[in-house]
Structure 1
Amino acid sequence: MTWWERTALVVFMVLFMECFAWAMHKYVMHGWGWGWHKSHHEPHDNAVEKNDLYAVVFAIVPIALFTVGMWYEPLWWIALGITIYGAIYAFVHDMLVHQRGGFRWVPRHGYFKRLLQAHRLHHAVEGREGTVSHGFLFARSPAVLKEQLRRHAAKRAAGPAVAADRDVMAGTTSRRPVDAEHATS
């Protein structure tokens, strides 16, 4: 492999891992894998949380790829890209955002401040529903994320009766009304 093919593989994998991490965080960790991830959203004084099991599981893939990559070079570079993403993630998420390991820098402006704000807005919601900002290296504007949080909160406050009324008015459902107040004869 040429140096630029190796570099391209590593860079591609770092970018791919951000997409993969976003999907895993949104659909697995805040979905069926909430049992482990919940520990990350609850206050605690422990150095380790159940959520850290995800890092252990995710580390298996690059370890295997490094091993096989000894015989098939592209896999070694793919594993390096995944590992670099893991190191960036550990710095941004664990050290910068959650100040694990005694790291105590709070950015006052720029890219790192935006990442910090986005992840704090992610944690602004109790539970797994209605969260925003599931990525780790690319964050939307805090103003956009706050608006998303407001919309999620409004939907929750409206409840199923208002949603059912909206669907009936729009002609998008044939569901029966939720309660007698919304019933038609």
Structure 2
Amino acid sequence: MLFALITIATFITMEGVTWCTHKYIMHGFGWFLHEDHHQPGYPHVFEKNDAFFVVFATPSILLFYFGIRPELNILFFIGLGILCYGLAYFLVHDVLIHQRFSWFKRTNNWYLKGLRKAHKIHHKHLGKPDGECFGMLFVPFKYFKEYKK
């Protein structure tokens, strides 16, 4: 039970980590990697922005490694929470919002529509400054109002 709570708490914490990383690193000194992601109609399958997947995967991999040595310990479950958040991020950001894959194109779910709208608001700013809506799974309620029935 404790390990499940640690995994869930890590997953929830990752939204804050992602928000801060997005606002202060991706829209800060890491803009050179994130900039192509804000250009409409970027023609490549991969973006420089995809390097951030490696950045986020590295701590998870290390936590898995040290979380099984010398025996299964708390670090493994923190790594699992990061991995679960990474999978959710991939499904929401790359599949649902940016539709880099042809899955979930016709969703009618109010929550998913609200997430998509918030991210579109984020992308209306093509430059580094003046960003808004840096979160991924928890965004302001105003983006859900028109879809909630």
TM-score of the pair, normalised by structure 1: 0.72
Secondary structure, aligned partner of 2:36? helix
- Which residue of structure 1 aligns with residue 116 of structure 2? 116
What's the counterpart of residue 143 of structure 2?
A: 142
Q: Which runs of 5+ in 1 are unaligned?
A: 145-185
The 2-side partners of 1:69 and 1:107 are apart by 37
Q: Which runs of 5+ in 2 are unaligned?
A: none
For 1:52, give the aligned amino acid: D
Mark the CA change 1:95 to 1:51 in structure 2 (over 3 Å): closer, same or farther.
Answer: same
Is the radius of gyration larger for structure 1 or structure 2?
1
Question: In 1, Cα distance between the equivalents of 2:109 and 2:44?
Answer: 30
* Structure 1: distance between partners of 2:95 and 2:11: 19
Q: Partner of 2:67 in structure 1? A: 69
Higher relative contact order structure (alpha carbons within 8 Å, sequence separation ≥ 6)? 2
Deviation of the 1:109 alpha carbon: 4.4
**1:96 and 1:106 in contact (8 A); partners too:** no
How many angstroms does 1:143 deviate by? 8.7
Q: Point out the more displaced range, 112-121 or 63-72.
A: 63-72
Change (3 A) 1:143 1:84: closer
User: Cα distance, 1:98 vs. partner?
Assistant: 0.2
Paired residue total: 141
Match of 2:38 among 38, 41, 44: 41
Q: Is the 8 A contact 1:106 1:113 kept in 2?
A: no
SS at match of 2:114: helix
Q: How does 1:63-102 map to 2 (within 5 A)?
A: 63-71=61-69, 73-102=73-102
Residue 107 of structure 1, CA deviation = 3.1
Choose 92-101 or 68-77, whichever is displaced more: 68-77
Q: Please list the CA deviations of residues 140-180 of structure 1 after superposition, one character each: whole Å capped at 9, or x if unmatched.
A: 12399xxxxxxxxxxxxxxxxxxxxxxxxxxxxxxxxxxxx
Q: Distance in 1 between matches of 2:64 and 2:18?
A: 20
Is contact 1:17-1:85 (8 Å) kept? Answer: yes
Give deviations 1:22-47, integer Å, cap 9, x for gaps: 00000100011100000110131211
Quick check: 1:130 aligned with 2:130? yes
The CA deviation at 1:103 is 2.6
How do residues 149-160 of structure 1 correspond to structure 2 at under 5 angstroms? none
Partner residue, 1:28: 25
RMSD, aligned α-carbons: 1.6
Among 6, 11, 19, the residue aligned to 1:9 = 6
- Higher helix proportion (structure 1 or 2): 1
TM-score (norm 2): 0.89
Whether contact under 8 Å (2:122, 2:131) holds in the other structure is: yes
Supply the distance in 2 between the matched residues of 1:60 and 1:78 (Cα, whole angstroms): 13
